[in-house]
Structure 1
């Protein structure tokens, strides 16, 4: 009997106080003095399975089969058409921090979360808190294959292979069943199994591992596959980062979509993203993304990443609560196919537009374990038990995305990253110019206008064709009616001839023998029956033609009604165009008025400048006149000085002393006046 799951929802402020207190008591995942010993460089293989067979199968299915698949397994089918940017994944592995189970780009922490992956996959028929737990004694691999494929035990035993100590079955053995199994549900289930084995958990290329079969069998019990997907993604990232090499066996497609979605720049979220039918993976496939970018370029971009470069909350997710811990653990423990691990969602609250505070991460570095050796079953049971009580935090929006104490803590946090610096400054390929709101509205208007024009042309063409058909049917009906009228006239003439013949026989008596008269009457009756039958057929034909004509008229009226509706919509569109044109004209008129006012001010400025120049010229003439007067006065003073010098020589010495001071002053003034001459 399964234990019930208790869900506890707590306020943001309460969780913040608890997290801060827990962090102070237990410390961080890495404490001061710990050495991670991570290699400086990593070489990761991101090779993927060839998915052409799956794409071909999906394209062959009709909408009904696809609908059944989506209802059961969500949008995982879109994963088979997503192109994996191997250079990007290889660059991202360099920034993975196994101690905190997150990417650390420059000073920014990011990690995939259960809520984000669930929003991408849109698997609705699951219980959020019900996780996959490895069974201690599952059914044999052969029995699972027989149950899923309806094949014989001998066939199943023959298909089981062993690759690198891993028991698995080749995809080629299941391909025929996916294509031609008579049971549509079996085909759907096997196709989903192939996606889980070749795309989501691609541990052995070209094969589906036995653990995937065990996991797939539990999905029909409402198990949430997202935590399992996250575990193997985290464990593979941590292994590659610690060793510095290896093959990434997590779901590269989902990781690729997740990271690019956090650089999905939108000026405003479109309304269709709020719809329950909106499929993020489908929207991702329709969008153009950067291509042909080298690993070194990605490393440079991620190493120099800033907070403002990131779209913290992906545009396709709007959760109200965040799962932040399970049971007595201070974070979220997870179980996968081949091991377990933990992660701290409180470390990346900004990915949900919530204010980031100090997270509780104590013991996170010791959370990883594999399903081998002694004691792992106890860890599985403890993790499963902790999921019986799951804690959610209400997400609150704040103007500031970081608390002050978090900023201090983040700068002081012990990091295990050892990314070598690069001198390359690369342009962020995610950044793009966003059109303005007016430009978006204009583009939508143009699209609607083009669509309406196409629809109107189609309706007009259909209306024209229908008119032609109606005219043809009318002409046919008129022809049948004319033929029926001719037959009726012939029948009436025949009746008249018969009546005349009867009268003639009655009047003339025995013109012929009885046998002859009987034979003639029989012939006449036969002719009458022939014409009656022909008339009846013509009447039936005319009736059918009339019914067909009425049907065509009804269709014509329906098309006319649709055409009238289209005309009204077209008129509404024209009205909107006229409104826009009127608005444009009013704006143009305002602009013309402004230009006119500006020209008037310019003319006034020219007039004022001209008047100022005239005044300036007049003042200059006056100044020149004064200068000439000063020069003349100076010349007179110079002359007086010269005359004073001559006079000083003419006076006798006895009188010279009395006027010497006066003459000296005149000479000094004369010397000063010489400067102005």
Structure 2
């Protein structure tokens, strides 16, 4: 970056002018003739170390020991509670754009930032501009382990193993030390070494790599490990490329196995600032590993650049963009990333929704259950109305049956009375009536009696 922007806080407008001028003068990270080395599909292994034993040790510690760790090494133990979504991780990796060290989703760029990692892994001892840098001359792996663990050279040499091209120490040996070491401060340091080596910078399953001890050795100098974590995150997503620049229009990051650059001006919208054209010249060539004859000079140049940082001062005005940025973004050449399909497309606002708070989630759940209860009450009220109608119908049926029963009883009484009269008539007929007339009357009375008897039995 130009000298007038170095080592001070600069206004948004000045950085805006400088960035667009540099981009016009030097060009983008890649050009039209660029041929991507990336395949259309990336296979990613999401195998990780089992951290249950490490977490169990942390859970057993008292508050005083935990506070000692927080003050010295930051809030890393909170990462124990994060569940890795392996499917999401595989999908996100497909959208990693190595040409600009960012995720590209259609017209939107997203990138992990130093500010976010600093807030997440908060540690008051770290100085934000005092970064970890791999020293040209460092103590041997064994010497660094002796300093961190306080163990003898013989013990250290017996535990050191080789995995591929690097040396390492097994987690089992460190676990035994954490549980049995008489020095409480050393237990905290060994736990930190294990946490960095198994969770933050894993290389071989079940082992802590030599490079992790170099980082931990330098943390006592109040250097910040955030750029190193960010660098290794980017390098794990990028293919290895050779860097050749001696000055930087973007931010170079030194990791523990190599270095890479990223362009924070690319994602000003993430901080609520106006997005203008960022400078990203040769960003695609920024990555290199700590190998070969020239890497030490590159590390020295990056370390010097971090002594002259520039911070952007601006007023948060919402996620707006300049017209020039929209035009540049439309014609920018990306690396080989999935292209968005317009079929079934939805606005980006539907995807970038604010996560509701726990209170809002509880409120929504209460409202949902309350709505279900209201629907159930309404259904019960409806059933009650139908039941009351059924009761009325049943009452009318019962009343009708009672009336019919009374009528039949009255008819039965009439029948009895009529039968008595018939008996009297029969007696009179025997005395003075004709035989034919008498038989006729008997048959009629008998027929009536049978009819009403059947009717009575039906009830």
Write the deviation string for residues 297-343 of structure 1: whole angstroms up to 9, x where unpaired.
xxxxxxxxxxxxxxxxxxxxxxxxxxxxxx95211111111111111
Assess, with a 3 A threshold, how the Cα gap between structure 1 residues 155 and 14 changes in structure 2: closer, same or farther: same
Between structure 1 and structure 2, the one with the greater Rg is 1
Task: Give the aligned partner of residue 286 of structure 2.
Answer: 367
- Residue 321 of structure 2: aligned partner: 402
Residue aligning to 2:25: 25
How far apart are residue 35 of structure 1 and its match?
Answer: 1.7
* Structure 2 partner of 1:178: 178
Determine if the alignment matches structure 1 residue 415 to structure 2 residue 328: no
| Contact 1:55–1:81 under 8 Å retained in 2 | no
Correspondence for 2:207 = 207
Residue 37 of structure 1: CA displacement?
3.0
Residue 45 of structure 1 aligns to a residue in which SS? coil
Partner residue in 1 for 2:431: none
Q: Distance in 2 between matches of 1:189 and 1:156?
A: 16
Which residues in structure 2 correspond to 1:40-79 (within 5 Å)? 40-79=40-79
TM-fit CA distance, 1:416:
1.2
- Report the 3-state secondary structure (helix = DSSP H, G, I; strand = E; otherwise coil) of the residue aligned with 2:223: coil
Q: Calculate the TM-score normalised by the size of structure 2.
A: 0.72
Q: How does 1:27-426 map to 2 (within 5 A)?
A: 27-239=27-239, 328-399=247-318, 401-419=320-338
- Give the conservation status (yes or no) of the 8 Å contact 2:274–2:317: yes
Asked if structure 1 preserves the Cα contact closer than 8 Å seen for 2:261 and 2:283, the reply is yes
Distance (Å, rounded) in 2 between the aligned partners of 1:159 and 1:442: 52
Higher relative contact order (CA 8 A, sep 6+): 2
Task: Give a deviation string over 1:203-246, Cα, whole Å, max 9, x none.
Answer: 11110000100111000101110000011110110039x9xxxx
Q: What is the root-mean-square deviation in Å for CA atoms of aligned residues?
A: 2.7
CA contact (8 A) 2:254 2:260 kept: yes
Runs of 4+ that moved beyond 2 A: 420-436, 439-443
Cα gap change, 1:114 to 1:157, in 2 (>3 Å): same
- The structure-2 alpha-carbon separation of the partners of 1:144 and 1:23, relative to structure 1 and needing over 3 Å to count, comes to same
**What CA distance in whole angstroms lies between the structure 1 residues aligned with 2:105 and 2:177?**
45
> How far apart in 2 are the matches of 1:202 and 1:442?
38
State the SS of the aligned residue for 1:103. Answer: strand
- Match of 1:239, SS? coil
The 1:414/1:172 distance shift into structure 2, 3 A limit, reads same
When residues 380 and 426 of structure 1 are mapped into structure 2, their CA distance, relative to the original with a 3 A threshold, is same
SS at match of 1:234: helix
Q: 1:170 to 1:424 in 2, by over 3 A?
A: farther
Paired residues of 2:130 and 2:223 also in contact (CA < 8 A):
yes
1:637 corresponds in structure 2 to none
C-alpha distance in structure 2 between counterparts of 1:14 and 1:433, whole Å: 35
Aligned mates of 2:330, 2:361 — CA distance in 1 = 44
Preserved CA contact (<8 Å) 1:160 1:168: yes
CA contact (8 A) 1:142 1:153 kept: yes
* SS of residue matched to 1:47: coil
Q: 2:160·2:169 contact (CA, 8 Å) conserved in 1?
A: yes
Which residue of the partner structure matches residue 530 of structure 1?
none
Equivalents in 2 of 1:206, 1:442: separation in Å? 41
Matched residues, number: 354
Secondary structure of 2:261's aligned partner = strand
Residues 40, 420 of structure 1: 8 Å contact kept: no
Contact 1:127 1:224 (C-alpha < 8 Å) held by counterparts: yes
Give distance in 2, aligned partners of 1:382 and 1:95. Answer: 31
Distance 1:178 1:374, change over 3 A: same
Task: Give the 3 Å change call, closer, same or farther, for CA 181–41 of structure 1 in structure 2.
Answer: same
In 2, Cα distance between equivalents of 1:399 and 1:91: 28
Match of 2:393 in 1: none
Query: Matched residues in 2 for 1:441 and 1:202: separation?
Result: 36
Counterparts in 2 of 1:208 and 1:441: CA distance versus 1, 3 Å: closer
- What do residues 276-313 of structure 1 show as CA deviations (whole Å, max 9, x unaligned)? xxxxxxxxxxxxxxxxxxxxxxxxxxxxxxxxxxxxxx
Asked if the contact 1:95/1:104 (under 8 Å) is kept, the reply is: yes
8 Å Cα contact 2:269-2:319 kept in structure 1: no
Q: Retained in 1: the 8 A contact 2:249–2:279?
A: yes
Deviation at 1:7, TM superposition (A): 3.0
C-alpha spacing 1:435/1:60, structure 2 compared with 1 (3 Å): closer
Structure 1 residues 522-541: aligned runs within 5 Å: none
- Inter-partner Cα distance in structure 2 for 1:222 and 1:400: 35
Is residue 276–residue 321 contact of structure 2 (8 Å, CA) maintained in 1? Answer: yes
Tell me what 2:395 maps to: none
Partner-residue secondary structure (3-state), 2:30: coil
**Separation in structure 2 between the aligned mates of residue 360 and residue 213 of structure 1, nearest angstrom:** 35
Whether the aligned pair in 1 keeps the contact of 2:270 and 2:319 (CA below 8 Å) is no
Question: Is the 2:273–2:316 contact (alpha carbons within 8 Å) kept by the matching residues of 1?
Answer: yes
Q: Cα gap change, 1:177/1:426 in structure 2, threshold over 3 Å: closer, same or farther?
A: farther
Q: Structure 1 residues 380 and 108 mapped into 2: Cα distance closer, same or farther (>3 Å)?
A: same
The whole-number CA distance in structure 1 between the counterparts of 2:152 and 2:276 is 58
1:433, distance to aligned residue in structure 2 (A) = 8.4
**In the alignment, is the contact (CA less than 8 A) between 1:331 and 1:345 conserved in 2?**
yes
Is the contact between residue 168 and residue 208 of structure 2 (CA under 8 Å) also seen in structure 1? yes
Gaps of 5+ in 2: 1-5, 367-459
